[in-house]
Amino acid sequence: MADRLVEMDAHPRRAKVRLRIGMSAANEAVRYGLPGMLEAKTSGEVTVLSLGPDQWLLVSDQLSAEKLIAMCASEFATVRHHAVDVSAGLNCATVRGETAPALLSMGAGIDWSTRCTRTRFAAVPVVAHRHHETSFDLYYDRSFADYLGQWLTHALRDPFLNR
């Protein structure tokens, strides 16, 4: 089971766009339909993850990054914002299965029941998105892919995960 628990680059074609809204408008983000802190929101073909009070990550398996940026331009036409394509810089690992929370708890002491959070997982900055209790996406900087793969391989050897 353990070796099927993790897929390191699960969605190589997934479009990822990082959106940042000017500080003056960020307080009204919810008015624009953006999820609040530690939240994620899926609407149609786009999932928006909260990264901070003025930052979000838009991901989509169907729409291109250019399309997502265009949507932002349209949606936030009157708001100071900047949306950039980060698809090439961020990888997405999926962690799924009954032992997923236990495995993830080896990397960070956060509350993994949170819907969406930024943290350091195994000393690497990640954005964690919980789909449900045993299914997570971890967005991480591609430069850490080899290290994170090694780290997870080591962690998966812990017999505790197979109890």
Partner 1 sequence: MSRSGAHRVEKGGQLDRARKVSFTFNGRALVGHVGDTLASALLANGISVVSRSFKYHRPRGIFSAGVEEPNALLRVEIDGLAVPLVRATLQPLVEGMVVTSENCFPSVDFDLGRIFDRVHGLLPAGFYNKTFKWPNWHTYEDAVRRMAGLGTLPTGDDKTSFFRHHLRCDVLVVGAGIAGLAAALEASRAGAQVALIEQDGELGGRALHERVQVEGRTAKSWIDAAVSELARAPRVRILKRTLVAGYYDHNVLTALDLSDKEHPDGSVQRFWIIRAREVVLATGAIEQPLVFAHNDRPGIMLAGAMRTYLNRYGVAAGRRAVIATNNDDAYRTAFDLHDAGIEVAAVVDARTNAARNIEEGIQQRGIKVLRSSMVVDTRGSTTLKAVAVDELANDGRSLGANRVWIPCDALAVSSGWNPTVHLYSQAGGKVRYDSSLACILPDNCRQRVRIVGAANAEFAVSSAIASGTHAGREAAAESRPVPRDAGREHRSETNGIRAVRRAPQASAARQWVDLLHDVTTSDIELAVRENFVAVEHLKRYTTNGMAVDQGKTSNLNALAVLSDLTGRGIETLGTTTYRPQFMPVTFGAIAGGATGDLYVPPRHMPAHRWHVRHGAQLDDYGGWKRPACYLRGAETREAAINREVQAVRTALGLFEGSPLGKIEVRGPDAARFLHRIYMNNVTSLQPGKVRYGLMLNENGIVIDDGVFACLSPEHYLVSTTGANAERIAGWLEEWHQCEWPDLDLVLMPVTTQWAVLTLAGAAARTLLQQLPGDIDFSAAAFPHMNYREGQLAGRRARVQRVSFTGELSYEISVPANEAEAFWDELMQRGAQLGIAPIGLEAWLVLRLEKGFLHVGSDTDGTTNPLDLGFGAMVQKKAGDFVGRRSLLRTADQETSRRQFVGLEPVEAGASLVAGAHVISTSPKRSQGFVTSAAFSPTLGRSIGLGLLERGHARIDEIVTVFDEGRTLQARVVKPAFFDPAGERMNG
- For the CB of residue 98, give the shortest distance to partner 1 in the complex, in Å: 13
70 versus 82: smaller Cβ distance to partner 1: 82
- For the CB of residue 140, give the shortest distance to partner 1 in the complex, in Å: 10
42 versus 84: smaller Cβ distance to partner 1: 84
What is the token pair recorded at 86? 């980060």
d(CA 113, CA 129): 10
Instruction: Note the residues at the interface with partner 1 (CB under 8 A).
Output: 12, 18, 20-24, 80-82, 84-90, 102, 105-106, 108-111, 122-124, 141-148, 150-151, 154-155, 157-160
State how far Cα 24 lies from the chain centre: 25
94 versus 139: smaller Cβ distance to partner 1: 139
Beta-sheet strand order (sheet of 90-96): 6-7, 90-96, 135-141, 124-132, 116-121
What is the token pair recorded at 71? 């949507």
- For the CB of residue 91, give the shortest distance to partner 1 in the complex, in Å: 9
- For the CB of residue 20, give the shortest distance to partner 1 in the complex, in Å: 5
The residue assigned the tokens 């009204």 is 28
- The C-alpha angle 46, 124, 19, rounded to 5 degrees, equals 30
